[in-house]
Amino acid sequence: MRFDDLILAGDEYPQGACESRQEWLLMYSRGVPPAVIAGWCRVDVRRVRRTIDRQIGLDQGWFGRCWVLHDQPAPSSNRRRFRRSREQVWWEHHTAMATYVARVGGLPAQNDSLEARVLYRWLENQRRTHDAGRLTQDKVDALNRLGEWIGTRKGNPDELWVQRLKQVQHFRDETGRFPIYDPQRHPDEKVLAVWLGRQRTWQRNGRLRADRQKILDQVLSGWDRVGSVGALCTIQVRLRTISQDR
């Protein structure tokens, strides 16, 4: 047999997704993150993760024999001990990010590819968690090794937050109300309305930093009463519009 006989024509290469779950498990056991496996095999990453969880449930010692690029967490002692913890999922995402940075030479941009969009959104979530003071130091150190992951944002987040606070305060002092999200009638209020709405959402979800909530309560009295203030302002705007039309 000649070597040329082993070369496949372009239309003879395998097409579509790689459905072999044994290959997924083999790659994961050799340290390949689920997101990378899904990209290579052209399948949904959730299917890969379900396959891994099922294998861990069937073979309790299998996970202990897997190669991982980070410190392997010890399985918990409860009944869900063989499911991946949040810590493990975080480090899997970080490994996928580190692999991408090493291959591309920089942090992902949102519109580069599907893989880059997923990693970009994960990194944005880490930035928000860091702004809220809830990102542990070991994770901050791991992200710092990727490059200027905080510096890719425009400006210092704390300085920008104070700037938006002053702008909302100045707006309320001049108008007597909070900014309204109405791009058609009030396009100049959109940025401030989005910022204020985000603070309210974080406050309802318990994610707003205590120091920032204290400042908001002191500087912007009633900032969290979105129902009454926002509805009243919207009604007033609509009434003024109706009267002008007449």
Helices (H) and strands (E) in the chain, counts: 10, 0
pTM: predicted TM-score of the whole model, two decimal places: 0.40
Does one domain contain both 138 and 230?
Answer: no
Last residue within a domain, chosen from 91, 115, 144: 144
Does one domain contain both 94 and 169?
Answer: no
Does one domain contain both 62 and 37?
Answer: yes
| Residue 66 domain-assigned (yes or no) | yes
Does one domain contain both 135 and 163?
Answer: no
| Residue 190 domain-assigned (yes or no) | yes
Q: Which long-range contacts (CB under 8 A, 24 or more apart) does 190-193 make?
A: 191/164, 192/164, 192/167, 192/168
Last residue within a domain, chosen from 76, 111, 144: 144
Residue 62 CA, distance from chain mean position: 30
**What is residue 111's DSSP assignment?**
T
H or E element at residue 237 = helix 226-245
Does one domain contain both 213 and 98?
Answer: no
Distance CA 209, CA 187 (A): 29
| Residue 4 domain-assigned (yes or no) | no
Residues of the domain holding 173: 157-245
* Tens-level pLDDT at each residue, the chain (246 residues): 454 555 555 555 556 678 888 888 888 888 888 888 888 888 888 899 888 888 877 776 777 677 655 444 454 555 455 566 888 889 989 999 999 998 888 888 877 788 888 898 899 889 888 877 788 899 989 999 888 887 545 556 778 889 899 999 999 999 999 998 888 888 888 889 888 988 888 888 887 888 889 999 999 988 988 654 444 444 454 555 545 555
Distance CA 82, CA 58 (A): 10
